[in-house]
Amino acid sequence: MSADDLLAAADRALLLAKRTGKGRVAVANPDAEDELARLQEADASPAAVHALAAAIDARDSYAHGRSEQVVGLAASVAMLLGLTAETVERIGHAALLHDVGKLAIPGDILRKNGTLDVAEWDVMAEHPVIGEGILRRIPQLAQLAPLVRHEHEHWDGSGYPDGLAGAQIPIGSRIVLACDAYVAMITRRPYRGELSQGDAIAELRAQAGAQFDPHVVEALLDVLGVAR
């Protein structure tokens, strides 16, 4: 290598070390180049996530503000369960985009001030599958697609779209489901009032082992500062 090439390679290794945490040592070699390329490709993910999130907020006023609450709770629960930093970030992104499929739901259904009828519910129930399809078309976000598809699966197998149960459901989907349900319960809607925190917590406990992963509920209650 020339002196300039050697300095350029060292600079790339230094950049990788800085990007991946304090105290990291990186050697200038092809593996380091591959890792740096992956990190640079992933840099597009946050921008894509927030662009889609803005589209969801514009389409569904109910989602505005609520999504950030779900993200905060989901990330905290994931950390409490001991998941890796990378997985926590992925779950946070999935929490922000779990309703992305609603971009394709007709507005009269999405904004209906009342209970959906059977036909309308059948349309609405397609949104996790639609969301999966949207995310798979964006290379930087494709890893979120399974979490979004299975966010409405229930621990006891009674959910949709695939009727998965227990540990068959991705852990990120289980976390987002419980956190989203809690935020939904304490949020006022045009056709119903909000529940008190106590009533919402009682519902989480009642559905642990049925709709929700019991371990996720325990972690969520800890995040909320609720004594068991």
Contact 200, 212 (CB under 8 A): no
More confident residue, 55 or 168: 168
Shared domain for 143 and 162, answered yes or no, is yes
Shared domain for 2 and 71, answered yes or no, is no
DSSP 27: -
Shared domain for 108 and 50, answered yes or no, is yes
Residues 5-34, mean pLDDT to the nearest whole number: 78
Q: Which of the residue ranges 43-52, 99-108, 117-126 would you say has the lowest mean pLDDT? A: 43-52
Range of the domain at 182: 44-223
The mean pLDDT of the chain is 86
Reduced to 3 states, what is the DSSP secondary structure of residue 65? Answer: coil
Write out the DSSP string of 84-97.
-HHHHHHHHHHHHH
- Asked about 102 being catalytic, the answer comes back as yes
Short-list 157, 154, 162, CA closest to 128: 162
Number of domains within the chain: 2
- The reply to whether 192 falls in a domain is yes
**β-bridge partners, 212:** 208
Whether pTM exceeds 0.75: yes
- The reply to whether 105 falls in a domain is yes
Shared domain for 29 and 50, answered yes or no, is no
Q: How far is residue 72 from each of residues 103, 179, 204, 223, measured CA to CA in Å?
A: 23, 9, 18, 10
Contact 154, 211 (CB under 8 A): yes
Q: What's the pLDDT at 55? A: 75
Reduced to 3 states, what is the DSSP secondary structure of residue 212? Answer: strand
Contact residues for 71 (Cβ-Cβ < 8 A; gap 6+):
92, 95, 96
Respond yes or no on whether the N-terminal peptide bond of residue 30 is cis (omega within 30° of 0): no
Residue 191 clears pLDDT 70, i.e. is over it: no
Residue 162 clears pLDDT 60, i.e. is over it: yes
Residues 135-157, mean pLDDT to the nearest whole number: 93
Shared domain for 136 and 37, answered yes or no, is no
Shared domain for 83 and 16, answered yes or no, is no
Q: What's the pLDDT at 4? A: 83
Shared domain for 12 and 106, answered yes or no, is no
Instruction: Indicate the pLDDT class of residue 224, thresholds 50, 70 and 90.
Output: very high
Residue with token string 């907020």? 57
- The reply to whether 228 falls in a domain is no
